[in-house]
Copies of this chain bind each other. A is one copy, B any other.
Amino acid sequence: MAVHQSTLEIKTRGAGTLEITGEVDRVVRASGMTTGTVHVFCQHTSCSLVIMENADPSARRDLERWLDRLVPENDPDFEHTLEGPDDMPSHIKMALTRTSETIPLARGRMLLGNWQGVYLWEHRRAPHTRRLVVTVTGE
């Protein structure tokens, strides 16, 4: 049993989901581990993670549009507005999705379903550089 840990820096292109399955997979392969779990942790509170269908991009667009509509900017009840109209909705969208994801590892590969991809979901309008910590635990 061993632990392998690595930090990824991901440049987002503004609001939306960005597939990071390949980046996480490279950490997994570098670890040399074959069985266990892969934990991906997002060190921010205005972006988040989600495991989503990676076949038809329209599914992701619909998901993004639906959440934008659920959590609109300029909500008259918001107090926390100094960091811009997209800041507070970003925190709420993060809380409704995930700060980390754990994926099983077998035969040296993540055991994702056929249509599953790992996504970093940027909730701010502007591009950001985001830090993710990947921890592989196993054999």
Residue positions of A touching B, CB distance < 8 A: 1-3, 5, 35-37, 39, 41-45, 50-53, 56, 58-59, 61-63, 65-67, 69-71, 75, 77-80, 82, 87-88, 91-92, 94-104, 106, 111-116, 131, 133, 135, 137-139
Contact = CB atoms under 8 A, between A and B. Distances in A.
Nearest to A115: B45
Interface majority SS (helix, strand, loop, mixed), chain A? mixed
Contact of A96 (B37, B43, B96, B138): B96
A48 to B, nearest CB: 10
A79 B92 CA distance: 24
Top 4 A-B pairs ranked by shortest CB distance? A43-B113, A1-B1, A58-B80, A58-B79
